[in-house]
Chain A
Amino acid sequence: MTPILELRDAGFRYRRAATPALEGVSFAVEEGRSLGLVGESGAGKTTILSLLLGLERPTSGAVLFDGKPLEPRDRAQVRTFRRSVQPVFQDPYSSLDPRQSIGRIVGEPLASLGITAGADARARVAAALEAVALPADAAHRYPHEFSGGQRQRIAIARAIVSRPRVLLADEPVSALDVTTRIQIIDLLAELATAEGMTVVMVSHDLSVVASLCARTVVLQGGRLVEQGDTREVLGAPRDPYTRRLLAAVPRLPA
């Protein structure tokens, strides 16, 4: 089966940077197999996300979408791509426009991607809000009326309203309290099953990746050090850096 998204020997160097942010990274996102990208500061996690979102082009290697290189000038491909891959960001306080109603925020991809409008759009927004367990009247309210966890639900509703195949989430629970964190992880897992969506998640938190992702990619200093099934990567890590990362995670006493 052709992967939905793939990085093939991808490298990236920011303008005027002495060293590349990413070097020779290859991995594939397969349909239905949620994938976690883990690593510490400077690992290249954010750079990979901007490549996968098509916000940056690799300076070497390629990004493939449904087996074809992502080509910003191919408007038909860009349209399909935007409908298929939707982002969720870390901070639900800065990622929602405070002056727009929740209905408008969640419905925005339907309008900007030209998917649907009017009553049909309103019905899709209501369905998305229901899927993230927010009350239907939320559509008429504004971001400041919601807590951090609820705001992240709103951001997820916006991401799923266009029924994407891939949800690209950048540290989606890092800004949340631990009790809320569990609820959002459970929600993402449910949506992945119910909507047939593949979640690609960047996280510095191994327990979050272990909770949600079938596959794990470990990055260090812009290079991929290990990848595979989460069970194997975290259960029997082969690379010394993965082992060091795992050993450093504070654990609860039994």
Chain B
Amino acid sequence: MSTEAASQAHVVDVDGLSVSGGDATPLVRDISFRLAPGERLALIGESGSGKSLTSFALTGLLPAGLTSSGSVLLDGVQVVGARERDLVPLRGRIASTVFQEPLTALDPLMRLGAQVAEPLRRHLGLRGGSLRRAVIDALVEVGLPEPERIARAYSWEISGGQRQRVAIAAALACRPRLLIADEPTTALDVTVQAEVLALLERLVAERGMALLFVSHDLAVVSRMAQRALVLRAGRIVEEGPIAQLLTAPRDRYTAELVRSARELDAALEVS
């Protein structure tokens, strides 16, 4: 198998990724991982660990002033150092991101249907009736009731859980091969969180997508992924199957994280 074919087998191949802002110490240091279709990996860390910056760097969406180095191959295309116009065709079609706060991800001045239509128009060239049908299909697929009404509504007219479903519909409309979910349920009520996690689980399984699930919540992570990287202060401190991280953490920080999560979890065993 040629080198190119080997990298093609992975949807994303990250090698020695660092993110820094000028001459200060890097915010993310020497991160490496690969994901094949259908694989589900979690990025675990607390505030300031660099987990969100890592996920932004995968699609070249770093905040202004920050630059990445190393290598990120997205479906074989180098993202690090790439021109913005070479990245646009990848976003939404190869990799899509669902963010923590759907209110900031959705434009309050644009009808929701138009926002789901945008990637379908850009990447798949859909127009007219076929575009309208594809938008409704995308809204139906994320379990939204009355998709016609939602398509005509604005983001502030629907609930937080419905907004996150619309954001997921827009992210997945063009059937990307990698879904990056960055704390996708942290801003939601617990009963709504359960529904959205079930939705993500179903879509990722049905479509055989790769999933990068970014979260601080070990209980959520253990449901959504098989393997995890634990980040602290921009570095990977431990990686492995989640079952192993939970039962036999090797790193001191991972152990502390697991101990805290277990203590809170045990508090619920009240009967």
Q: Does A210 contact B (CB under 8 A)?
A: yes
Q: Shortest Cβ distance from A150 into chain B, in angstroms?
A: 14
Q: Does A119 contact B (CB under 8 A)?
A: no
Q: Does B133 contact A (CB under 8 A)?
A: no
A interface with B by C-beta (< 8 Å)? 40-41, 148, 177-179, 181-182, 204, 206-208, 210-211, 230-231, 234-236, 244-253
Measured CA separation A206–B191 after assembly (Å): 12
Count of chain B residues with Cβ under 8 Å from any Cβ of A? 31
Identify 17 residue pairs between A and B in the complex whose beta-carbon atoms are under 8 Å apart, listed by A's number.
Answer: A40-B189, A148-B47, A177-B216, A178-B46, A178-B216, A178-B218, A179-B257, A182-B264, A204-B190, A207-B267, A208-B264, A211-B264, A245-B191, A248-B190, A249-B219, A252-B222, A252-B265
Chain B residues within 8 Å of A249, by CB? 190, 219, 268
A235-B270 contact given A40-B190, A148-B47, A253-B243, CB 8 Å threshold: yes
Q: Among B194, B220, B256, which residue has the most Cβ atoms of chain A within 10 A?
A: B194
Chain B residues within 8 Å of A181, by CB? 260, 264
Closest to B264 in A: A207
**Contact, CB under 8 Å: B260 / A231:** no
Closest to B243 in A: A253
> What's the A-B contact tally at a CB cutoff of 8 Å?
84
Chain A residues within 8 Å of B216, by CB? 177-178
Q: Which of B46, B190, B243 contacts A177 (CB 8 A)?
A: B46
A182-B217 contact given A245-B190, A250-B223, A251-B268, CB 8 Å threshold: no
Q: Shortest Cβ distance from B44 into chain A, in angstroms?
A: 10
**Contact, CB under 8 Å: B193 / A248:** yes
**Contact, CB under 8 Å: B260 / A179:** yes
Closest to A178 in B: B260
**Contact, CB under 8 Å: B257 / A248:** no
**Contact, CB under 8 Å: A248 / B191:** yes
